[in-house]
Structures are given as C-alpha cells and as structure tokens.
Amino acid sequence: MSTQFAKRPDEATLTRAWNGPLTRELVQRPSEFGLGKLPEKLYPDATATSVCGYCATGCSLRVHLKDGEAINLSADRDYPVNLGMACPKGWEALAPLEAEDRATMPLLRNNNGELAEVSWDVAMKAFVGRFKCIAEKHGPQALAWLGTGQLPNEELAFIGALCKFGMGMVHGDGNTRQCMATAVTAYKESFGFDAPPYSYADFEYSDVIVLVGSNLCITHPIMWQRVMRNRRKPEIVVIDPRRTETAMAATRHLPLAPKSDLALFYGLARQLIENDWIDHGFVSCHVEGYEALKQFLLDGPYDLPTVAAMSGLEEDGIHELARLIGSGKRVSLWWTMGVNQSYEGTRVAQSLINLALLTGNIGKPGTGANSITGQCNAMGSRLFSNSTNLIGGHKFSSAEDRAKVAGILDIPEENIPEQDSYAYDQILDAIERGEIKGLWVICTNPAHSWIHQGRFQEIREKLDCLVVQDMYHSTETVRIADIVLPAAGWGEKDGTFINSERRIGRIRKVRRAPGQALSDFHICQLLAHYWGCGDMFETWTSPEAVFKLLCELSQGQPCDISAIEDYAMVEACGGIQWPLRDAADFGTERRLFEDGRFFHPDGRARLVFEKPRALPEVPDEVYPFMLLTGRGTSSQWHTQTRTGKSTVLRKLYPQGCYVEIHPADAEMLGIAPQQSVRVESRRGSVVATAHVAATVTPGQVFLPMHYAAVNQLTHNSVDPYSRQPSYKACAVRVVPANART
C-alpha cells in the first residue's frame, strides 16, 4: 500500500536531529520535525522541583542540578503533600534513568525473528504501514492501544486524541483499569462523577480512620506519616485478612475472611440503622435510596450473628466498629487495591460510600469515603486519556459533549467516536477472537502484570502487529513486540500529574533522554506527521500548550480547572486541586461536597447496593489455600521495571520471590522456614521461599505481586461493572519445590 508523508525530512536530516536531540538545527526548525520548541539548555538554577513519578501520593522532590542536569534530589519541605518527607522510591527516583537496559534506538523485528536497531524513519514507516494495512483490511476497530497511569496529562491527552481523532481507533484503555476502575465506577454511580472527595489533611483531622484492604505503611508511606501527625488521638481501624505492617500499627485490626467484606459492611450499615446511628438530616436533604437500602438490609442475612459467622469476626468487634462509625465524630473511610481488585469491588466500594453517607461523614474535615489512587497519574488517565470517557470527563455518547470537544480542538466532529471503548479485558478478548489485529502498548507491561499471565502470551500470537513504547528494552512485553519505540522517562520530560487528592502538580525535564529516545509527547507528534494527520495537531506544540487546552476542555465539568493560567501558576500555588473555576477560590486544601450537593442532576448522592456474589474460585481438597497478593515492601513498585534498577532499593527487599504461610500450615505440610516451595494454581506455578509467620491466618498464603511469575497463578475474573481484574483471591496449593505433583 502507498502512504503519503507530508513534508518528511530526508533520512540524513532525521539522523542528525535524533543523534543530538537538543542540536541547534532542531531548536531553530522544530516544526519540520513535529517536535515543538525545545529549550537550548535545561535549568541553570541550583535546584528545580518536580512531582515524583511513582505512586499517586504526589510528593514534590527538589532536584539538585549541576551544569544544568540532575545529580541528586531531596524532599520538598514546602509542598503541601509531603511536607519534606519522601519514601525510598522517591529518594531513588533518578536511578532508573541510568539503567544499562534503557531503550535508546527504535527496534524492528527482522526476518530472523530478532529485534534489530533501525532509524526512526524506518520504525515510523513500519508502524504506520502495518497499522494502516490492518485498518484497510479489517476496519479501524481492528486497532487498539493500551496506555498507562504513569504518563503526564499532556501525553495521555495526545495519545488518546491521536488514536481516536487522528488514526480513527475506537478502542483503547490503560493500566489504570488494573488499579482504579472500581473506585471510578463506584463514584460515578454514587456521586455522579469520578470524584475522590478528600484532602490529605483529612488524615490529620479524623477521630476515626478506617483503612480497608490498604497497607498504608507500605503502599503510601507518606500518607501514613500524615496519619501519624494527627493530634486527635484517633482510632485507627484496619480491615484486612492479613496482619500487615499497618494492621500491627493500628489501634484495631479486624482480620476478616477473604472477600467477606461486602457482607461485613452491609452488616455495619444494618447496625447503624438498628441503633439509630444515622444522620437523618443529612440523608433526608442529600441522599437518595435510604428506604430501599434499609429494607434490603433488614430482609437480608446481615444481622450481627450471621455477619460474624460469614466474616470470621467477633460480634462485639463488629458492633463496636459500627458504634465508632455512627458516633457523630469525624470518621474517614479509606480503601485501595484490597477493595478495587475484586470480582465485586464496585459494590464493596459503594458499601463504604454508603456508610459515609448514612452518617453524614462527607464534605467536612476529617471525613469522607476516600479511594487512594495507585499510579502517579491514574486520575489524569481517567480524565484526559480518551479511553474510559471522552477527554475532559465528557461522554462519547453525548452529541453536546462531542460538539464542545470538536470546537475547542478545532477538529471535525465526525472524527469523534459515538461509542465507548472496550475495557482492557474486552480488548484482550477481542484479540483472542481475531477482531483486533494491531495493538500499541505505551509505558505498561501487560505480559507481566495482567491476570492469568499465560493467557496474555497466547493472545499475543493472534496479533498481526504489536508495537511497544517503553523506557527499557528488557521488559517482558518489549521482548515479544514487533516494533519497539524508545521513550523518555520521568525526569526527561515536562508535564503535569494529578494525585489522589485531585492535586495537579508539575513534573520537569531535568535530564536528557539517552540516545535517540524521545518523550512520548514527541513520539506522538512524529506519528501524527507520518500518519498524515499532523495538521490536526498544529497547535499541540508543547506540553504546556496542551495543558492550556485541557484547562479549556474541562470548563463546566466537575473537574473544571479553567481558572488555571499556566504551569507557573501551578508551581506558585504548590499544586492545585480540582476544581478551580475561579482563581479567587484557591486554597491549599479543599474537599468536595462541602455544600452537600453531588454531581447527579438532582444534586443528591445515591445509596447503591446488591446481593453479594460467590467467589469465582474457592479452595478445595486439591487446591486448599486461598492466595492473597499485594505490595511487598515500600521499596518495590509494580513489576519492578524501575525499582529493580536501583542498587539501593534492591538491598531493601528480598531478591527472590517469597510466600507467607502460617506456622500451623507449614508444620502440617512439613515446610521449614526459608525452604524452597512451589505455589501452584490451576493456571501455573511459582517457586518461592517459605516465610513462615502468623501474618496470614491458617488456610491463606500471601505472595507479593512484584515478582514476574506471580500472575501466572491469578484467576481470570473481573468485576462486571468496572471490568477491573480480581487479583486478590484464588485457590492454590503449596508443596516442596522438589515434590512431584
């Protein structure tokens, strides 16, 4: 097939430009390359500030510079998020940039089946040629992309706009589906919009802090430090099957049976009703569905004895927790992946939202039904990536929204799809069916992280073309790609992130990307140029130019940030929480729903409930243990693609996979501490070192999610509403590593 390339420079010019990304030629004539204007040098200052690129706490780091390039960093004492604190990952944030396995050149799989270095020109021609061929043969629905919550808003917006408006794709999703989709769906149904209501200061203002499925000490250490700053002597209640570090530090630990949480929270709600611990004034004025929920709870098996039997908890403990929640004090309820990564996580999250609404614990300091975000910019992915909704929190199905977006971006309205995208798991199902033939994976590693890992490897064989865009050439997904595009990482690009408390923070370019690696923003400019839709993105000249478009697109939405003028304003304010419709309304801490109005058309919140579902897979005689998974240590992150590059961080966690098993189970199986064992499910097996400890109860084992083989075990099930995978519970057996099974 023939492909037209408008104003494409010759090969020699391209090579010169990318061999020196900041050369005089590129700076003076950026439009010829579609790269936008680049600075002649980075920062002459002694320091520059940048929000950390790991978790969604959103800490600010002071990056120390020498000759304009980063050499070290420290925590920012003036930023309202971390107040001079940083976790081990933050202190080591520069280390991954120096890794020996950085992707520095485009790679193309040759006729010998090997990935070989090629020029950007060759890589772009291959990408565009193969994807256009698939689209011509099978239609635009045969192409899809999988993004991430680890890119800045501006790059997420560019990728989503390029794919949907420029390249004509219908389907795209991000790895945010793996961490936050449940909370998003729950908030949309309950509040009318994806709206975490809190500020981190609420950790310090609460009288009762309830942490559900959250090992805050490990997963979000700086948030735990905010809890420790609370001078109100709060009750800290941890609800988790496992005796985590946070459970050990709490005032109360309720070790409920795995996945009995929905029944437990319905039981707590019934206790609130039966003891009249309800804020009737708040419910009457601001909440829909109270009578229906009351009838559901009183008619169902949610009385105290039944819930105690289902959850494995003492009746007195359940009653006392209900009393605390209904005490009239400031109560905040917090959850993370222990709730979200579940086959019924949406309803569990809503059962927590219900508790906050019933007691009026919303919109006031120290209160809230508060989801803690995973990745650094998962919220930006949700709002601006054009995947789960039309850019800016709009709806693809709304003609009014499509017209608004088309007008602001100056694109034909017919370029905007009227239908929603498939979710992540549905994209993979479509690949398996042969419906999707081309996949572009950006800054994520599904060959490691997706549930039932072996299935992903099999699905990949159904693709005609897999393009992977990453910092490293060594990830599991890169190794099976047809085309690899080398990307810049955090610290090598400009943009903004949105953290868990809705705070928009600035990230800075403080180093040059190695070799011919480009920022994802510049790769999008280049791809638009080669695809032939570069004119559509003529005004997308820099990340800041796109940020201003996003501010305009958000106007009138719950996430309205139209009053933000530019990056300088974001920095001067110490980050800005959305919404900000009027600059005069700025405050360093702001929470939603202070006026009692929610985002449904009638202004009222909804109480949402449903009968609990059965576990998709339960232990039996062959696989007698319930597998729990989660974060291992504060020095590990996701698939360890970045944390594994730091010699300091590697010293802080076990290098080999380990499994926590209760002493009674270890004795029964004849397993000694530190013995090599094999953990097996119906889908695969993992060799691990036995860590014998009472952190889990008999009948349960725990594996950290960071080790490559763990997701060979996990069950291929998802929440039906959020489409989020259920990583946290499946049936396994444990045998000595040398045993024959």
Give the C-alpha distances (Å, rounded to integers) separating 454 from 80, 180, 710, 719.
43, 24, 11, 20
Give the C-alpha distances (Å, rounded to integers) separating 318 from 73, 209, 270.
46, 15, 11
Give CA–CA dist 128/5, Å, rounded: 10
What CATH number should be reported for the domain holding residue 729?
Answer: 2.40.40.20
Domain count, the chain: 3
Lateral strand order in the sheet of 47-51: 47-51, 60-66, 69-75
pLDDT of the residue at 19: 37
Size (the chain), residues: 741
Are residues 348 and 456 located together in one domain of the fold? no
- What is the domain range of residue 662? 625-736
315: left (phi over 0), alpha (psi -120 to 50) or beta: alpha
- Per-residue b or e along 2-40, where b marks 16 or more CB atoms closer than 10 Å to that residue's CB: eeeeeebbeeebbeebbeebeeeebeeebebbbbbebee
- Per-residue b or e along 110-130, where b marks 16 or more CB atoms closer than 10 Å to that residue's CB: eeeeebebbbbbebbbbbbeb
Are residues 385 and 363 located together in one domain of the fold? no
pLDDT of the residue at 265: 98
Q: Which two tokens stand for residue 692?
A: 């014998």
Query: Do the beta carbons of residue 106 and residue 112 sit within 8 Å?
Result: no
Are residues 682 and 538 located together in one domain of the fold? no
16 in any annotated domain: no
Q: Report cis status (omega within 30 of 0) of the bond before 579.
A: yes
Listed as ranges, residues in the chain with pLDDT below 50 are 1-40
What CATH number should be reported for the domain holding residue 132?
Answer: 3.40.50.740
**Count of beta carbons in the 10 Å neighbourhood of residue 327:** 14
- Give phi and psi for 173, each to the nearest 5: -150, 175
Q: Which two tokens stand for residue 86?
A: 């940083």
| DSSP H helical ranges for 255-303 | 261-274, 280-286, 290-299
Last residue of a domain, one of 526, 546, 566: 546
23 in any annotated domain: no
Last residue of a domain, one of 371, 397, 430: 371
591 in any annotated domain: no
pLDDT tens track for 333-387:
999 998 998 999 999 999 999 999 999 999 999 999 999 988 999 999 999 999 9
Are residues 195 and 334 located together in one domain of the fold? yes
Are residues 680 and 718 located together in one domain of the fold? yes
Q: Which of 165, 321, 172 is nearest to 253 (CA)?
A: 321
Are residues 185 and 327 located together in one domain of the fold? yes
CA 269 to chain centre: 29
2 in any annotated domain: no
Are residues 359 and 406 located together in one domain of the fold? no
Q: Which of 423, 435, 580 is nearest to 502 (CA)?
A: 580
614 in any annotated domain: no
Mapped onto helix, strand or coil, the DSSP state of residue 352 is helix
Give the C-alpha distances (Å, rounded to integers) separating 52 from 89, 219, 414.
9, 15, 38
253 in any annotated domain: yes
Last residue of a domain, one of 311, 339, 371: 371
Are residues 167 and 208 located together in one domain of the fold? no
- Give phi and psi for 462, each to the nearest 5: -85, -10
pLDDT of the residue at 179: 86
Give the C-alpha distances (Å, rounded to integers) separating 259 from 161, 343, 660.
39, 9, 19
Longest dimension (CA), the chain: 78
- Per-residue b or e along 145-166, where b marks 16 or more CB atoms closer than 10 Å to that residue's CB: bbbbbbbbbbbbbbbbbbbbbb
Are residues 160 and 214 located together in one domain of the fold? no
Question: Which residues 6+ apart lie within 8 Å of 320 measured at CB?
Answer: none
Mapped onto helix, strand or coil, the DSSP state of residue 210 is strand
Are residues 262 and 350 located together in one domain of the fold? yes
Give CA–CA dist 522/133, Å, rounded: 24
- Per-residue b or e along 225-263, where b marks 16 or more CB atoms closer than 10 Å to that residue's CB: bbbeebeeebbbbbbbbbbbbbbeebebbbbbbbbbbbb
273 in any annotated domain: yes
**Count of beta carbons in the 10 Å neighbourhood of residue 673:** 12
Please, which residues bridge with residue 505 across strands? 497
Query: Do the beta carbons of residue 438 and residue 464 sit within 8 Å?
Result: yes
438 in any annotated domain: yes
Give CA–CA dist 25/109, Å, rounded: 31
Q: Which two tokens stand for residue 446?
A: 């599904």
Are residues 189 and 231 located together in one domain of the fold? yes
83: left (phi over 0), alpha (psi -120 to 50) or beta: left
Question: Which residues 6+ apart lie within 8 Å of 113 measured at CB?
Answer: none
Which letter does DSSP use for residue 313 in this model? -
Are residues 203 and 330 located together in one domain of the fold? yes
